[in-house]
């Protein structure tokens, strides 16, 4: 028995540093996380916090193209627009964002919804959602149950349950490299500054910073529009959520660069257009843009995102196009 207690005591001593590290990772994400984390944290606060400023009349919902393409201050100078899109998000994350937003805020009059077409084809950034622990435990269980239903391989794979626990409990096997890179706390000042910038810009942020980009975007890697059943189901849940709350739905398309516009296959474009036509039929009162705008390469900061000049151009076009609401 004495030997057992000695071994147990040694186990506790050996595991204590790991427990303390996990506790630090759980408590202080702004101290060590990469610069993308403040975007997730600011958006999470915006949709889940009852005291988060005034309720905007128009919300922008979507992924990184929505986040970087529409500047709320350029759409409206009275503060009635807020951008709650997230870089890397699919309709899965945005459905939960919308549901939480409506629990904590007055329903917006209009919602501008923008997703890159390729985000309908693949759950390619699910590990990022887990890494930043964006979903609550209940939301995570609900979503994984749907992943089992739709057999979504990017979410249900060998070892997926162990990964869920490792991310949720901030185990060192998932976070130690980032903690070491940040020397524990060296990222705090930059992350807090980024959070403030996002709040001041009403949720807008840029991604690429180049003056011009002529590289091919993600859509060019898909010969055809191969719709993911999981994403499709959550896109409909998202739009149903907005419709049932009384919010007017505006589905827009972010521009692609000229280099990619020439390479995206007709099969992909036609398949995506047909999918948008089904949304137009399903939501009769919604505005649905079905074509992908093509901008000169000089308006892109990287192969997928508009630079600031491009965002200003697109924001002005959207404001003029929907002048009745902006």
- Please name each of the domains of the chain with its CATH number: 36-156+192-321 (3.40.50.1110)
Q: How many CB atoms lie within 10 A of CB 193?
A: 12
* pLDDT value at residue 318: 98
CA-to-CA separations, 124 to 32, 71, 117, 174, 189, in angstroms, rounded:
24, 26, 13, 18, 30
* pLDDT value at residue 7: 52
Locus of tokens 């503060």: 79
* pLDDT value at residue 49: 86
φ and ψ at residue 136, rounded to 5 degrees: -70, 165
φ and ψ at residue 60, rounded to 5 degrees: -105, 125
Q: Which residues pair with 251 in a beta bridge?
A: 113, 288
Structure tokens at 173: 């096997």
Contact 63, 115 (CB under 8 A): yes
d(CA 153, CA 161): 13
* pLDDT value at residue 124: 87
pLDDT in tens, 217-229: 999 999 999 999 9
d(CA 74, CA 310): 12
Sign of CA dihedral 3, 9, 12, 17: negative
Q: Which of 270, 288, 291 is nearest to 279 (CA)?
A: 288
Q: Percentage of the chain surpassing pLDDT 90?
A: 89
Sign of CA dihedral 68, 74, 77, 81: negative
Helix H or strand E segment including 11: helix 2-27
Q: Which of 88, 119, 62 is nearest to 318 (CA)?
A: 62
pLDDT in tens, 130-158: 999 999 999 999 999 999 999 999 999 99
d(CA 247, CA 55): 13
Residues of the chain with pLDDT under 50: none
CA-to-CA separations, 214 to 81, 94, 254, in angstroms, rounded:
31, 29, 16
The 3-state DSSP class for residue 174 equals helix
d(CA 134, CA 115): 19
Structure tokens at 198: 């996002």
């Amino acid at each position: 028995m004495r030997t057992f207690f000695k071994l147990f005591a040694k186990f506790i001593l050996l595991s204590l540093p790991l427990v303390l590290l996990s506790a630090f990772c759980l408590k202080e994400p702004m101290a060590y996380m990469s610069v993308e984390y403040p975007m997730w944290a600011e958006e999470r606060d915006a949709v889940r916090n009852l005291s988060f400023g005034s309720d905007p009349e128009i919300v922008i919902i979507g992924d990184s193209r929505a986040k970087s393409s529409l500047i709320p201050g350029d759409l409206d100078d009275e503060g009635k627009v807020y951008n709650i899109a997230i870089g890397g998000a699919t309709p899965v994350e945005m459905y939960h964002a919308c549901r939480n937003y409506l629990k904590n805020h007055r329903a917006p009059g209009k919602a501008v919804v923008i997703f890159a077409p390729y985000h309908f084809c693949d759950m390619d950034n699910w590990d990022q959602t887990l890494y930043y622990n964006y979903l609550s435990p209940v939301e995570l269980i609900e979503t994984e149950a749907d992943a089992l239903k739709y057999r979504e391989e990017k979410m249900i794979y060998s070892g997926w349950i162990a990964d869920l626990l490792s991310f949720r409990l901030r185990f060192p096997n998932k976070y130690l490299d980032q903690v070491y890179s940040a020397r524990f706390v060296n990222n705090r000042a930059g992350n807090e500054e980024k959070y403030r910038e996002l709040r001041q810009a009403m949720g807008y942020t840029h991604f690429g910073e180049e003056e011009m980009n002529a590289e091919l975007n993600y859509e060019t890697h898909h010969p055809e529009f191969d719709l993911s059943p999981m994403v499709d189901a959550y896109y409909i849940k998202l739009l149903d959520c907005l419709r049932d709350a009384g919010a007017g739905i505006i589905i827009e398309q972010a521009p692609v660069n000229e280099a990619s516009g020439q390479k995206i296959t007709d099969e992909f474009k036609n398949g995506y257009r047909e999918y948008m036509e089904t949304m137009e039929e399903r939501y009769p009162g919604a505005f649905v843009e079905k074509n992908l705008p093509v901008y000169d390469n000089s308006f892109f900061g990287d192969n997928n995102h508009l630079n600031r000049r491009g965002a200003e151009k697109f924001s002005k076009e959207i404001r003029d196009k929907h002048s009745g609401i902006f």
